[in-house]
Structure 1
Amino acid sequence: MKKTTYILPVLVVAVVLALSSLFVVDEREKALVLQFGQIKAVKEEPGLAFKIPLIQEVVRYDDRILSLDTTEIEVTPSDDRRLVVDAFARYRIADVVRFRQAVGAGGVRAAEDRLGAILNSRIREVLGADQVTSDTILSEERGDLMLRIRDQARISAAALGIDVVDVRLKQTNLPSQNLNATFERMKAEREREAADEIARGNEAAQRVRALADRTVVETLSEAEREAQIIRGEADARANEIYADAYGADAEFFAFYRSLQAYERALTGQTSTMVLTPEGEFFDYLRGADAQ
């Protein structure tokens, strides 16, 4: 009975010690076995592992890709137009030994503080470089800038045992105190561009109108010249006909010309003529007896 009394506690302690010496590494994590703060073993493969109870402890780190939102910072591109940049990064713990040595017991929280400082430094460095303007940051070249930030941050973060997978600029805004001034400047620039376009349009319209006016003048001049030629030819032909008629019958030609004169002189309601009855104008109206 006394033996049983001693054996049971020993068995319980042995079972507890045996169980406490076992631990499971999940496929989504990596583990370090520490003994008095020193790294004794690295467990990167999922499965069952062992440690010395009471003396050694297990520290687990997430092996998945993690996300980190950086704090908003102001950057000044080469055109001196300040921007407020908000970014985020995707990273993973690539080397757990170096990660533990770099951040110690601070773990992921301490690592993210240091990684955030690295990212902000690289964002300022890349976006503030020569030939990088605010328009460049807001254009399609934004993707190339993010790749440069990622590559430079990856080099610095390697000392922490961290691999920076990706860096993205979430928002790129103007500082609130500069918004009104920037909007006014953009408005003035657009108005200037509009005025230039209007001036160029007016200049083009003037050229078109001048060309059209010149074409009209040339066309009218050419038409007038041709009309004068036609009238001259018609007058010459009429004179020729008159001459032939006069040569054929002078008396009939004189009679015809008198009728034309009567028609032109006696038309209208207000025409007044003062002539003597014996004048030659009425020779063909008096008849043969009057003569």
Structure 2
Amino acid sequence: MSVPHGDSLGQVLGERRHLLAVAFRMLGTSADAEDAVQEAYARWFRLSDDERAGIRSPEAWLTRVTANVCLDVLGSARHRREQYVGEWLPEPLSGTAVGGGSTAVDPLDRVTLDDSVTMALLVMLESLTPAERVAFVLHDVFAMPFDEIAVIVGRTPQATRKLASTARRHIAERRRREASAERHDEVVREFWAACESGDLSGLLTLLDPSAVTRVDGGGQVRAVLKPILGADKVARFLLGGLAKQGELVPSLETVHGLAGIVFRLDGIVAGVATLDVHDDLVTDIWFTLNPAKLTTWNQP
């Protein structure tokens, strides 16, 4: 295997941050994103010097290959998630981290997520087909032309444009009543105050009548396996759980740019709760307890 040297190597490795951002939005976990980017680099370094010299834009090549890897993963993800114990949720990120480290050559570089990458958006992306998700992320988020995306998804440019349009419409409909970041955080603070005080009636006024709570334990920790439906059941579940939290220490913190609730045990993050707010009411509460999805919170 031949390896480029000097500036060319630095340029190629410098794309890692961008590639991780692409892969995370497509796959929803930092571990899967890391694996996809690792595979893209492996394919790059397997090329001969002449093959690499013939590639005018290493960034575009690496992005296409990363997207292809992600598309393959998404195609098999539905089967894998059928085997998953309980509810599968995307990974809630601590601040800006996917992986760790600080330099371009570190195999676990950090990637900054903009504030639009909320937990709610990642959950919405899960409802798309793999091709829709790839087309939407590459075009609407990273401005890749449809003719290039068409090669990745194996469709015509016109069909690829329709994929992105369908995904965009689906997401827009789901986000139409979504609260602003400021109002979201205000509602979450009120919600958490009601939880801490055990105020059932106050909590019910903040929950949408059809509110849903989902808990992702991944079979690694004890967790409710099915969604909890309806404001009354959700409220009683929350207050009952908090009454039994033992030595867990909760705090309001920023998750994906919005207020969320983080639970620690002996200084280690054991759970993260993220919420969706529509029309000033909490519609969804997502609890992530699977330790594999909390690694970005517990890095040194």
Query: When the two structures are superposed, what TM-score results if normalisation uses the length of structure 2?
Result: 0.25
Query: When the two structures are superposed, what TM-score results if normalisation uses the length of structure 1?
Result: 0.25
Q: Which has the larger radius of gyration?
A: 1
| Higher RCO (C-alpha 8 Å, min separation 6) | 2
Higher strand share: 1
Higher helix share: 1
